[in-house]
Amino acid sequence: MPRLSYLKALNRALGDEMDADESVFVMGEDMNFALTNVTAGFLQRFGPQRVLEMPLSEQGFTNFATGAAMAGRRPVVEFQIPFLLLLVFEQITNQANKFRLMSGGQTSVPVTYLMPASGVRTGWGAQHSDQPYSLFAHMGVKTVMPATPTDAYGLLITAIRDDDPVIFFGPLACMGVREDVDYADLLPIPLGEARLHRSGTDVTVVAVGQLVHDAIAVADELAGEVSVEVFDPRTIYPFDWAALAESLQRTGRLVVFDDGNRFAGLGAEVLATAAEQMHLVAAPRRISRPDAAIVGASPDLDAGLLPTRQQLTSAISAVLKG
Amino acid sequence: MTECQDIELEQSRRDSLYRTIRLIRRFEERCLDLVKSGDLVSGIHPCIGQEAVATGVAAALDGEDIMFSSHRGHGHFLAKGSDPSTFLAELLGRANGIDRGRGGSFHPSDFTRNIYNATGTVGHSAAIAAGAAWSVAQAGTGQVVTCFFGDGAVSQGALLEGFNLASLWRLPVIYICENNQYATSLPVGAAVAGTITGRGEAFGIPSVTVDGQDVEVVLAAMTGAVRRARAGDGPTLIEADTYRYFGHHTFEFKVRLDYRSEDELARWRCRDPLEIAAGRVSPQVRSEIDADVEAVLDEAVRFALDGARLDPADAQEYTYTTGPQPRAGAL
């Protein structure tokens, strides 16, 4: 059975969609050399009219994608660094994501933004290391962050086929994750469907991105002692609240393992919703980056900012006592 | 410099240009009444004084051509053929509005006329228009894309990024800067270093300044620009020198801003686009057109005021094409 890496899954999904649908094209920086390898081989395969090399002009080319989409194409915009999403926050949230509503349903803007989630590249600096996924969910932009190659394949296909703007975060820390797959099993995965990586009865751990793999490791470590359910929403927005409610019905205990900042982050949202509407027998916990986290200059300092397995283990024992 | 064609227009064409200018002028005056009566709640960015620009631009286009409007955009819509009744209903936020009340005066769109939108972030439509132009060029449809913005927009970096992409790939897009001399209260001389056409020329875009008060001058410049675009020769920038008679927005009726002199207003009113166009039609035709426009607008006002009010429960309809039902703000 072939070993498929996360990176290769992205390459395969994008290539498959470009084969299947002439209106799909990819644009971004350093396309001619496929710098990130996501588009490796595409220039030869699809030609320069469908693999658009862009000048260093992120606001311009993000808007360009919106116009191209309204005129009938399905752009996939590749960014190399997550902070660029802050530069194009306006273009995505205030332009692309509002045009359908503002037109009363006359138009759609089917753009996919393919974004490396930080994850983190050690020492790459404070301006290359944010995890802005909660911001886009807050603004109501469809946002996915798959953790495994199979999920990356299936959700990228779905993101491209979706008629609305979708942001796809692929954590850099996941790019090398490999899975044995039968290519025939690679299928589109609907937005908003969570996946249980481990079933459990004592506590539900909601983890996203590369933290899913840490959560699985912790669950395996605690096996026999604590029965941990590892819940990966895969889609940040829309979140699979029904599946979470079902999981908490079983466990009644919740820990969220979130790589974003604490204040008004994904962890805050999940805890608030669970507290309002779901079955909890103990006060829930969240592990996140601190408030105002500025990550990335020194591996030593980053250790004080990034969520750890140890923190997760402690939080699990705290909710079990609660 | 782009070529400015000297066109000898047929009289029926001149009558039609006058009619469009008259329609925009009277539509806007009706809007001012509806703002004062409280029916048009948002207020408007009146384009009275600038009607010849929209009219001359649209007259050079085919129905299939794509347009991106601006916040001061009512004239663009009417000139491109939007139905005055459903358009006015949109400004009033009614269910029978062209965008079902979701676009309003500031951000309407009309896909029946290929008007994609009027974005509120000044200057940002330049690259969106370039993207649309790229799509239609790739598809070989022969459509051209027009993109309106004001003098305020030329200080926006995003606009210049759009110019760069459009010129780099010789896209069929025509940029129209309606230089009405003020960005809200800021005179163009205090905001723009260099010149507006210099912005275009820096990117290798043929750029021209024309008299925006004379619809036939605008039409002549547009005719050349459209020919270039359809031939695959790339973008053009047209700076139309014009003036708005009223404030940036109707809130200026309440907040009296003293940034323009009476003399200046009077000077511009001497070159009123409506009267310039009227001078080219017979008095009899003029009075027939005027009466017809009033009848159309009487009907539009009736249609808009009779439009059903929208249900707050439907406020999030059309947010997404598929999928998520946004959660309510209160349980």
Contacts of A218-221 with CB under 8 Å at 24 or more apart are A218/A309, A218/A312, A218/A313, A218/A316, A221/A313
The CA–CA distances, whole Å, from B227 to A119, B57, B177, B239, B240 equal: 51, 13, 19, 18, 19
Q: Give the residue from chain B lying closest to A23, CA to CA.
A: B135
What tens digit of pLDDT does each residue of A220-243 get?
Answer: 999 999 999 999 999 999 999 999
Residue B189 structure tokens: 């001389």
Q: State which amino acid sits at residue B102.
A: R
Average pLDDT over residues B227-237: 98
Res B3 pLDDT > 50: no
A105 contacts in B (CB within 8 Å)? 100, 317-318
Is residue A89 less than 8 Å (CB to CB) from chain B?
Answer: no
- The closest CB to that of A102, out of B99, B131, B324, belongs to B99
Tell me whether residues A107 and B127 touch, CB distance under 8 A. Answer: no
Report the C-alpha dihedral over residues A212, A215, A220, A221, rounded to 10 degrees.
150
Q: What is the DSSP letter of A184?
A: G
In percent, the amount of chain B with pLDDT more than 70 equals 98
Which pLDDT band holds residue B270 (cuts at 50, 70, 90)?
very high
Distance in angstroms (rounded) separating the CA atoms of residues A180 and A298: 35
For residue B325, give the chain A residue with the closest CA: A238
The active-site residue, picked from A128, A138, A213, A279, is A128
Banded model confidence at residue B4, pLDDT cuts 50, 70, 90: very low
pTM of the model: 0.96
A-chain CB neighbours of B126 within 8 Å are 63
Minimal Cα distance from B173: which residue of A?
A67
Given an 8 Å threshold on Cβ–Cβ distance, is B100 in contact with A61? no
Instruction: Report the pLDDT value the prediction gives residue B6, as an integer from 0 to 100.
Output: 53
The confidence band for A273, taking pLDDT boundaries of 50, 70 and 90, is very high
Q: Which runs of E-coded beta strand occur in chain B?
A: 66-69, 115-118, 145-150, 173-179, 182-183, 186-187, 207-211, 236-241
* In contact, A225 and A252? CB cutoff 8 Å: no
> Nearest by CB to A67, which of B130, B321, B323?
B130
Task: Detail the DSSP E strand segments found in A94-239.
Answer: 112-117, 142-144, 166-171, 178-180, 195-198, 203-207, 228-232, 235-237
**Sheet bearing A285-289, strands edge to edge:** A195-198, A228-232, A203-207, A254-261, A285-289
Distance from the first to the final alpha carbon of chain B: 62
State how far the Cα of A112 lies from the Cα of A97, in Å rounded to an integer: 11
Task: Assess whether A128 carries a catalytic annotation.
Answer: yes
Please determine, for residue B276, whether its predicted confidence score (pLDDT) is greater than 80: yes
Q: What is the DSSP string of B73-96?
A: -HHHHHHTT--HHHHHHHHTTBTT
For the sheet with B207-211, list strands across it. Answer: B115-118, B66-69, B145-150, B173-179, B236-241, B207-211
Per-residue pLDDT at B254: 85
Question: Contact, B26 vs B294, CB < 8 A?
Answer: yes
Asked if B109 and A107 touch (Cβ cutoff 8 Å), the reply is yes
The whole-number pLDDT of residue A116 equals 80
Instruction: For B114-171, write each residue's pLDDT tens digit.
Output: 999 998 889 999 999 999 999 999 999 999 999 999 999 999 999 999 999 999 999 9
Mean pLDDT on B47-76: 98
Residue A103 has pLDDT above 90, yes or no: yes
What local confidence, expressed as pLDDT, does residue A119 receive? 60
Q: Angle A92-A96-A99 (CA atoms, 0-180°, nearest 5)? A: 145
Distance CA(A314)–CA(B95), nearest Å, equals 55
Nearest-neighbour CA in chain A from B214: distance (Å): 31
Q: Do B117 and A99 touch (CB under 8 A)?
A: yes
User: Does the structure show a pLDDT above 60 at A114?
Assistant: yes
Asked whether B175 and B237 are in contact (CB, 8 A), the reply is: yes
Is there a contact between A100 and B135 if contact means CB atoms under 8 Å apart? no
Q: How confident is the model at residue A118 (pLDDT cuts 50, 70, 90)?
A: low
Mean pLDDT of B253-278: 93
Helix (H) / strand (E) containing A268: helix A266-277
Residues A144, A242: Cα–Cα separation, whole Å: 17
- For A57, the closest of B66, B164, B321 (CB atoms) is B164
Residue with tokens 């996360």: A6
d(CA B128, CA B135): 11
Other CB atoms within 10 Å distance of the CB of residue B316: 14
Give yes or no for residue B5 having a pLDDT over 90: no
Q: Is the ipTM of this complex over 0.90?
A: yes
pLDDT band at B2; cut points 50, 70, 90 = very low
Looking at chain B, which residue has its C-alpha nearest residue A105? B318
Spatial contact of A141 and A169, defined as CB atoms under 8 Å apart: no
What integer pLDDT is reported at residue A117 of this predicted model?
Answer: 75
CA B94, B99, B100, B104 dihedral sign is negative
